[in-house]
Amino acid sequence: MTSAFFALFAALTAVAPPGTPDAAALLRDSDRARGGLAEGVSWTLTVESTEEGTSTRRTMDVRARNTDALAETTAPPRKKGEVILFNDRNLWFLKPGLRRPVAISARQRLQGEASNGDAASTNYARDYTGTVVGDEIVDGEPVWKLDLVARSKDVTYDRIRYWISKRRRLGVKAEFLTVGGDLFKTATFEYGNRVRIPGGQEIDFVSKMTIRDAMGAGGTTVLTYESPRAETHAPSVFNVNNVVR
């Protein structure tokens, strides 16, 4: 079945509880704390995965602006200089010595349980049709529970169950599902960072995303976000022709 079918099904069958906020507004607010800033933002990302007792670590410098992002690996040495470029929903992989960029998918594995799309800014408000399906308590905090259905096949996940804090309007938990509805990964989020955006306002910014395999393999991947800062990035930064080396 197609993503369009699930979007239509959700719209026809879901009944929002009284007083339920607009799902799109919730997603826009929560996206800001995960890099979805039109003004531009940068951070250092460490991806550390553990599978079958073996740990792997990668560090990346990430620059994001609206729907574009550029993530460049700085460590380990053998992967230094590898770049993933996000042009809206188009992804390109480049590395030193590679004459032409290679088109890749947001769904391909980056490392461990993390997909390529997990390294960029989050734009759930753009990429998914969201429906608020209820409210719950997660770790003692009142949250809204949303069902998200992908608007296209170019995004990282087909379907997501997403829990957003009522008070903070931040995503605190996610379950990632196949188009058929099977759960295959879960994630939790922490927000120990702050970013001052244009105008002087300070907002919460993600500090850790922990992704766990939900199919029995037991793999865990932790994405740690450090030194986030609002920065203005010219569109040329995300032009694939300027990134080719």
CATH code for the domain of 205:
2.50.20.10
Is residue 84 in some structural domain? no
Tokens describing residue 166: 């009522």
**Average pLDDT score, the chain:** 91
**pLDDT single digits (tens) 161-218:** 999 999 999 999 999 999 899 999 999 999 999 999 988 899 999 999 999 999 987 8
Query: Average pLDDT, stretch 74-79?
Result: 97
Is residue 167 in some structural domain? yes
Query: How far is residue 86's CA from residue 91's CA, in Å, rounded to a whole number?
Result: 5
**pLDDT for position 12:** 41
Query: Average pLDDT, stretch 6-31?
Result: 72
Q: How many residues does the chain have?
A: 245
> What pTM value is reported for the model?
0.89
How far are the Cα atoms of 130, 189, 193, 203 from residue 162, in angstroms, in the given order? 9, 11, 21, 20
Query: How far is residue 112's CA from residue 155's CA, in Å, rounded to a whole number?
Result: 19
Query: How far is residue 124's CA from residue 70's CA, in Å, rounded to a whole number?
Result: 18
Query: Average pLDDT, stretch 235-240?
Result: 92
Is residue 100 in some structural domain? no
Is the separation of the CB atoms in 148 and 128 below 8 Å?
yes
Is residue 137 in some structural domain? yes
Q: Looking at the chain, list the stretches that DSSP marks H as alpha helix, in order from N- to C-terminal side.
A: 3-13, 23-32, 124-127, 240-243
Banded pLDDT at 73 (limits 50, 70, 90): very high
Query: How far is residue 45's CA from residue 205's CA, in Å, rounded to a whole number?
Result: 13
Tokens describing residue 89: 């929903």
Give residues with Cβ within 8 angstroms of 4, minimum separation 6: none
**pLDDT for position 245:** 61
Query: How far is residue 26's CA from residue 87's CA, in Å, rounded to a whole number?
Result: 24
- Our count of domains for the chain comes to 1
Beta-sheet pairing, 90-94 with 102-104: antiparallel
- Percent of the chain surpassing pLDDT 90: 79
Tell whether the model's pLDDT for residue 226 goes beyond 80.
yes
Beta bridge partners of 204: 194
**pLDDT for position 13:** 46
**pLDDT for position 242:** 86
Tokens describing residue 39: 């003004």
Domain range enclosing 175: 3-58+106-236
Query: Average pLDDT, stretch 102-127?
Result: 95
Phi-psi map region of 52: left, alpha, beta (phi>0 left; psi -120 to 50 alpha)? left
Is residue 181 in some structural domain? yes
How far are the Cα atoms of 49, 112, 156, 188 from residue 109, in angstroms, in the given order? 12, 7, 10, 19
